[in-house]
Every structure is written in structure tokens, then in C-alpha cells.
Amino acid sequence: MAADRYDAPKREKHWQRVWEERGVFRTAEDPEKPKYYVLEMFPYPSGRIHMGHVRNYTMGDVVARYKRAQGFDVLHPMGWDAFGMPAENAAMAQNVHPAKWTYENIATMRAQLKSMGLSLDWEREFATCDVAYYHQQQKLFLDFYEKGLAYRKTAKVNWDPVEKTVLANEQVIDGKGWRSGAPVEQRELMQWFFRITAYADELLEALDGLERWPEKVRTMQANWIGRSEGLLITWDLEGKKLPKKLQKLEVFTTRHDTLFGASFMAISPEHPLTAHLAKRSKRLAAFVAECRRMGTSEEAIERAEKQGFATGLFAVHPLEPGRKVPVYVANFVLMDYGTGAIFGCPAHDQRDLEFARKYGLDVLPVVIPEGADPATFEIGDEAYVGPGRLANSDFLDGLTVEEAKEAMAARLEAMGVGKRSVNYRLRDWLISRQRYWGCPIPIIHCPDCGVVPVPREDLPVTLPEDVTFDKPGNPLERHPSWKKTKCPQCGKAATRETDTFDTFVDSSWYFARFCAPHAETPVDRQAADRWLPVDQYIGGIEHAILHLLYARFFTRAMKATGHLGLDEPFAGLFTQGMVNHETYRDKAGNWRSPQEVRIVHSEEGRRAFLKESDEEVTIGAVEKMSKSKRNTVDPSDIIARFGADTARWFMLSDSPPERDVEWTEEGVQGAWRFQQRVWRLIGELEPRIKAEAAGVVGAAGAGEGGGHRERTPPSDLGPEAEALRRAAHRALRDVSRDIEGLRFNRAVAHIHELTNAISAAQKSNTPGMDWALAEAITLLIQLLGPMMPHFGEECWARLNYNTLLADEPWPRPDPALLVDDMITIAVQVNGKRRDELTIARDAGREEVEAAALKLDGVMRAIGGREIKKIIVVPQRIVNVVA
RNA sequence: GCGGACGUGGUGGAACCGGUAGACACGAGGGACUUAAAAUCCCUUGGGGGUGACCCCGUGCGGGUUCGAGUCCCGCCGUCCGCACCA
């Protein structure tokens, strides 16, 4: 037996070499064929691949191989999202240059990916930190800048005073820098932005057309863009002398129907009016400082109590000049949404209600729910936000909320104090990073000419290599000479922009670059027009919002600058689930890795023990693989032990791809056993199907030319051989359908079924069985080929085919074998299944009824009662109502 | 709080348009082979009852629509995810 084991790790290297030598997966660029672009989100070169990559790239590879076999010209490239902070962190920690660190990681990970046997076109590989790539990105930036899609403005940033650097929100923990631990300051810095808000509406509307995107992602993006229609209302201010600019206060609202319920105004602590007032009030200045302090911590803001500061100012109600409401500075009003000022209507907004209760302000209901009495309707602890009719509201009384909004908007617009307006939650994309390991922003600052783009002929602006990471701050900023240059316009001494791009910029157009990765322009228009959009994009749900939204924006911006001819980059999107694993903890409370643990199945269930000491460890929750919980499994270990095909097969088999999968040793073993089982099966069948060589193996092996293979079965097939043929062709239909729909777990189940059918049929020696077995096993190998590609080749060769399985066309089922003449349907009595009926597929209603009523189980269940009705659903079910 | 998804055996999960619930796999139990183990093969495996053919119950809980509901509708309970003072 041992001799008949398939030695996966050894044979996999062989087939990888064969594919590479023959250039099997080089993109054909054959205009005769229909194109198919399948792309997985490219990895960050962190050092080693993890199981999440294995899952992601296996799925993409199955699709790529399947589509190739279907006759598509497939583009399936790979690259590296190679800029970013970890390289700089490594530089600081280990004194290694970010470039060296990054390219070494890439080399390691490339080798790991190659060991997976992915059908990638490696000739198109690039890293975003390659000068050749970021050179093109700088060109794109200049084009965007000229179109007004990139601009500079001051913005508040999280500043770490020790590291002397800007921190991303997620790097601020409890108001302190994640590395330094120093309290983070809010600083105003000049920053670069992309004008993504210019496309807010378009990005939102186009979501409807993305039919092959998960509903969930579309919803998330829609919420992120957060469009709301409302009204800008201008109020006059009284009570203090104010400079002219500040005498009017503009607010944005979506509930202008409740204007008659207004009882206060609130402005943001960062509002210009606040700033003006704070100059004359120490107490207000202190209040503002307090709000700012709270503002640095995301958590603190969450449940912070509503607080206000009465300014002494009053706003005049636009429709009732006699009515004046107090103006507060309030900590819950955001400066960067709307106008940074609101009017408060406590009866119909929960926040306003809490605020009003705290400061003793009026709560006047103006929307009355259907059926309630306006005279007695009162607001308690909860604001009423539902539908109803207006009351206490002058000309709006009796109108519905929608009608009242319309009437109010019309009235205020006519008076010149209202303006219909659309607001978005989406803000412009801040792309400046004060870091070294990123694409330099190709701009020069001249004391006389101001902001001057680097002339195109001077591109690329490359990163200096001689940088140090021993001090905090941006190495580009403190480099002795790099930023010193001359103004391209006036020739005077000037400085380079030292900000680099957010790495999301790099990943926003890489899919377009893959179409022609060596082009002298960012995108080769002809290649992009052929290949884009990406037909199937596969990646993690964590990129549902930012990466995918930025890529959608980039595609539009690149269209506006003539680089692309389409709006949406990804026609189909699939988001795969995570890879999880059990966690283990020893008695001391330390996390233990799966490699250190032995699992025992006892009567009380599963127990875990340390291999080294036999100490029992507690089995904890199944969680996402992470270094901190030590519940990771290294793909290379698995590949070395079982082979890549086993890892791939397991990744596809257990869970629906969009859901999380739990990596288990038992599951891997099961996958490995299945592979060995098929191998043994072929070994056992070899003598029988070799005898049929002329009929199936030889004839099929001789087939050439990309079409599907015609097989002519012998005319004397017995019923058992016929049944096997049906099972095989059904499996072919089902697996094809499941791969098409990315339901890999179901495809695997159907392959198992076919394997079981072959195993069972193997025992039979009835007429034609040898031929049917040869056909079934051939189809089996073809079906599992995209999932276990090396093993597929090995089996294909063993079946004496003289082609590469990777070059084989996908087989087509024989339609005649997919319909049965005789079918078995259930027969119910009063909705309960009592028997089943095997009958000719095309039997008529009367025939079915008569046969059903004669069944033992049916007669017993009716028990002599009167039959009221018989429902016959052809080829489905019979239900006798008695 | 708002938005969304989901809830099926010991486990992961199947079940198309409302039509035989539990495919397929893992795990478990029993048996064969073996000196023994591993590997492999065979049988059993939702719960309960019956010698048996069979019968009853069963898809988170409670109702409803229907000849028929895991699937549709209403109301709960629970889990997960996203957003979170967005005016």
C-alpha cells in the first residue's frame, strides 16, 4: 500500500516546473478569444503568507483555471502592495533599510505563492514601491492636480509630539500615540487631498448597477457616502455686537418641517463664531479646550454627555420675528458636517431632547402621530421621530411631514433665508503622509511661485536611499539635501514636498496597470479597454469601504484625465470570510500554538494536551488567526507535510466561501485522505480502463484543438454502466454550475459524490462498465483539476493522456444523460410524506394519481376516509387531501 | 441607537421558484483485516417509541398564510458584522 501513496510535495514541484517551462499561464493576448480578468487583492509583503492568502488565492485560482478551460483568454496577475509603515517600523527596530526589508519579504512570499501552484502570469508582476510603478503614479497625480481633483488645504491631524509624526486614527489609543505613549495633539497642517466628494453622488448612484457585488458592501458604501437632502437656513443673531460676517448663522437641517418646534441653536466648538466669542470669554475658551481634549479620544466621545455653553446670543426665528432662541456652543455639534451649526428641536430629535432637558429648554411637539390628540400629546424621555401630521406650526398645520418639508422649503426659499441643499457624510480623501516609505508627491514649494508641480520630464521624483531611522520624524524632512531643489518656474532655491502618498493611492489603480505593466504611460489605453473591468475581484471584507471606494473614485478620475474609458473597475466582487482556529491556553494562562498541542477525543469530548509535558490545556474560542493568540498555522508547514493541493482542497471544502472557515487538523487530514483515495482508485482501475484505451483514454487523449472531446460509448452499455454515466454527467453539470457561482464547498461535495459513485460501480463487472468507469474517472480528474491542479496533472498523466490537464478544454455534459426517464417523487397524505412513487417522467396526471393511490403507505394513511382533493405537481410531488 | 446578515444533528454545512429536511464532510460507535497499531474496507449515527413492517416529534421561540413552510408574513429571543452625536 505504502508504495501506492501519492507523494504530493515532490510531485507538486515537478508540475510547477513543467507549467513554468511551457509558459502555460502566460496571458495569451488572443483577441479571438473572449477575455476574462480575475484578480485577487494583492498582498502586503509582511514577511510570509498566511492562511487568509491561501484561501483568497485558491478561490481566484479555481476561477482562473476554470475560465481558461472554458476557452477564455484569462488575465490573472499578481503584485505587491509594497509601501507602508511596517517597513519603516522594521527599519527602526532592526536597522534594516525599508527597501531591503520589503524586497526580501517579496522574494520569500513569491516563493511561497509559487509553491501553491497558482495559475498566475508572473511576467506581469510588480511592486508598488518599484520606481517604474510610482513614476506612473506621479504622472497620474499631476493629471489629477491639473483637473482640480487634487488640492491642498489645512486639516486637523493627530500629531505625536515625541515621534514628530502624524498618526492615523487607529494609531491613537486612549488619546495617546500607540508607539510613544505620549498624549496626541490636534494640529492644523497643510495637507494634500483628492476631491472624492466631487463624485459623491455618482459613486452612490452607480452602486445600483453593481449587480455582482454583495448587497452588504453596497449598503456599507452607501452609508459611508451618507447622502442627505435638506435645507440651509439663515438666522439673524442678536444680543451682542458682532462683526458683520458673523451676524448671520447658517444651519443645515433635514427636518425643516419642525422649524416651529425650535427652541435653541447650537454651534460647534470649532465654529468661527465660537472662536470669535472665546476671545472675550475665558470660560468659553476653557470649555472649548475641554471639548478638544475629549475630541482626541474616539472612545471618550462615544458616551460623553451633552454639554453646552450659553453664549448670551439669541437667534431670531425666521418665521416669527418676535421669537428668539438662545445660542449655545455644544460639544456634540461637528464642525465638518453641514455648517457646523444646528437648530435644536427637542420634541423630534433625541440629542436635542437630552440637551433641552439638561438646560431647561422648551419641548414643543409639532409632529403628532396619527390618532393622537395635538392638545394632549406630550414628549417624555423619547423624542418622537415617526410620521404624523404637523401641529402648532402655523401654515403647516395638518400637513404630513413630507408635505410640510416641501411647504417650508418653498416658503423659506421665497423669503431668501432658505436654500435646498444636499449634504454628504463622505469627506475628501486626505492623502498626505509624513513618512518616508511611500510614493513622493511630485510638487515643489517655491517662496515666490508657491506650489509648483514637478515638470513631467523631471519625473520620477525618487526616494533617497541614504536615510536614517534612528530619530523620530519624517526622514525625508531631515535628509540633508533631498528636498533642496530649484523652482522649475523661476529657478530660485525651492524645496520639495516631503509628504508621501497614503498607500491606498497605490492600490487604487494597480488593477489597471496589470493590463500593460511595462507601458511608458500609467495605463496602455488599448490594453485597458480590452481587459477592464475586472470580471471577478476577490478579497477580504475589510476593504469593503475604503479600498473599493477609492478604486471606484480613481477609475472615474482616470476617465476624466483620459487614462481609462469606464467608470466602474470591478464588475464582480466577492468577499471571502476569514480563516479561524481554536485557541489554547496553558495553566499559567499563556496562549499555546496548535503545533504545541495534541488533541485527544475522549468520552467527555475533545481535550487538548501539550506535546512536551502532557499538561492539559484549555480549549478556547475559535477566533481569527492572529499572532497575539498564537492560533496561526503556517501555510508552508502544511504544504511541506501534505502538499499545496491538500491545503487548497480543504480551504474550498468546508464552509461557504463568504463565511469564516475553521482550520482544523482533522479537516486537513480529511482532505489528504480524499486525495489518497482518488489516487488508490485510479491505481485499482488502471488495468480495467487501460483495456478500454481505444474507446476512451486513447481517443480522448488524441483530441486537439480546444473544442470539447466527443466520446462515443459502446452500444451495449448495461443499466449499471448507464447509471454511472448519469452520475458523472450530473456531477459535471453541478460542479460547473457551482464553480460558476463561486460555491466551492458545494462543488467539492459533488466531486465527493462522484467519487463514491465510482467506488461503488467499481465492484460491478456488467456490460460496458469498464468504459463507463474510464469516462467517469476522466471527468472526475477534470473536475478536481482547478482545485487540486498538481494532483490533477499527475492523475491525467497516469491515465495515459499525453496532454497537460491545464490545457484541456472543460468537458460538456451530454444533455441526454441529465434527464431520467423514470423519476421518484414523494407522495404525501395531508401534507405528510407517506410513500414514494417511481414513475415515468412524462406520466400524465391521471396516471400519477392512480399509481399514488395504490401505494401501501398511502392507503394506510387514508384509512378509508373520503378523498377530497389530489394535488399533483408534475415531477415534484403528490399530495392527497383526505 | 441606526443599518444589515444569520439562527438546521455532536461539528462544518446541503436543501433551486414553497414540494421526500439533514446531501457531502468531520467527529463518534460497532465490525473486518492485523501479533498489535496505523492505513484501508463494511455497517450505524437528529430525538423518542415498537420484535417488526412502521409510528410520533423535530430547522431559535410564539402565531399566521397554504393542500404543503427550514423557505413566505407578523411578533419575540439570540448571535455576528458595519456605522455610530452626520442635524
Question: What pLDDT, on the 0 to 100 scale, is given for residue A533?
Answer: 96
Express as a percent the part of chain A with pLDDT over 90. Answer: 61
Measured from Cα to the C1' atom, the residue closest to B29 is A603
Higher pLDDT pick, A715 / A447: A447
Question: What pLDDT, on the 0 to 100 scale, is given for residue A691?
Answer: 60
Residue for grid cell 417523487? A825
Through-space separation of residue A618 CA and nucleotide B79 C1' in angstroms: 23
CA of A877: nearest nucleotide by C1' is B19
Through-space separation of residue A648 CA and nucleotide B11 C1' in angstroms: 21
Least confident of A688-702, A715-729, A743-757: A688-702
CA of A674: nearest nucleotide by C1' is B25
Closest C-alpha to A625, from A178, A48, A6: A48
Q: Using 50, 70 and 90 to split pLDDT, how confident is the model at A2?
A: very low
For residue A281, the one-letter residue type is S
**What are the backbone dihedrals phi and psi of residue A346, each rounded to the nearest 5 degrees, phi first?**
-60, -30
pTM, two decimal places: 0.92
pLDDT digits (tens, 9 = 90+) for A609-661: 888 888 888 888 888 888 888 888 999 999 999 999 999 999 999 889 999 99
Question: What pLDDT, on the 0 to 100 scale, is given for residue A688?
Answer: 84
Question: Over 80: is that where the pLDDT of A728 sits?
Answer: yes
Question: Over 80: is that where the pLDDT of A706 sits?
Answer: no
Distance set, CA A560 to CA A514, A563, A758 (Å): 20, 8, 58
Question: Over 60: is that where the pLDDT of A481 sits?
Answer: yes
* Rounded CA separation A851/A878 (Å): 10
Cell triple for A379? 414628549
CA of A752: nearest nucleotide by C1' is B24
Least confident of A474-483, A595-604, A746-755: A595-604
Least confident of A165-169, A522-526, A811-815: A165-169
Through-space separation of residue A833 CA and nucleotide B9 C1' in angstroms: 21
- How are beta strands A493-496 and A172-173 bridged, if at all? unpaired
CB neighbour list of residue A284: distance below 8 Å, 6 or more residues apart: A274, A277, A278, A309, A311, A329
CA of A756: nearest nucleotide by C1' is B24
Q: Are A224 and A425 in contact (CB under 8 A)?
A: yes
Through-space separation of residue A115 CA and nucleotide B33 C1' in angstroms: 38
Instruction: Calculate the dihedral angle through the C-alpha atoms of A135, A141, A142, A144, rounding to the nearest 10 degrees.
Output: 150
H or E element in which residue A712 lies = none
pLDDT digits (tens, 9 = 90+) for A270-304: 899 999 999 999 999 999 888 877 654 444 444 56
Q: Which nucleotides of B are covered by protein (CB under 7 A)?
A: 3-5, 12-15, 19-21, 23-29, 39-42, 54-56, 67-69, 81-87
Mean pLDDT, rounded, for A769-792: 94
H or E element in which residue A170 lies = none
Work out the number of other CB atoms within 10 angstroms of the CB of residue A520. Answer: 10
Average pLDDT for chain A: 89
**What are the backbone dihedrals phi and psi of residue A621, each rounded to the nearest 5 degrees, phi first?**
-65, 155
Least confident of A49-63, A150-164, A165-179, A455-469: A165-179
Through-space separation of residue A839 CA and nucleotide B47 C1' in angstroms: 33
CB neighbour list of residue A496: distance below 8 Å, 6 or more residues apart: A440, A443, A444, A445, A461, A482, A483, A484, A485
Closest C-alpha to A641, from A608, A614, A665: A665
Q: Using 50, 70 and 90 to split pLDDT, how confident is the model at A603?
A: low
Q: Using 50, 70 and 90 to split pLDDT, how confident is the model at A41?
A: very high
Through-space separation of residue A856 CA and nucleotide B51 C1' in angstroms: 21
* Rounded CA separation A10/A8 (Å): 5
Measured from Cα to the C1' atom, the residue closest to B24 is A749
A637-670: string of b/e by CB count within 10 Å (b at 16+)?
A: ebbeebbbbbbbbbbbbbbebeeebebbeebbeb
Q: Are A186 and A160 in contact (CB under 8 A)?
A: no
CA of A661: nearest nucleotide by C1' is B12
Question: What pLDDT, on the 0 to 100 scale, is given for residue A707?
Answer: 45
Give me the interface pTM, i.e. the ipTM: 0.95
Closest C-alpha to A646, from A48, A5, A3: A5
Through-space separation of residue A743 CA and nucleotide B77 C1' in angstroms: 31
Torsion region of A84: left, alpha or beta (phi above 0 gives left; psi -120 to 50 gives alpha): left
pLDDT digits (tens, 9 = 90+) for A339-350: 999 999 999 998
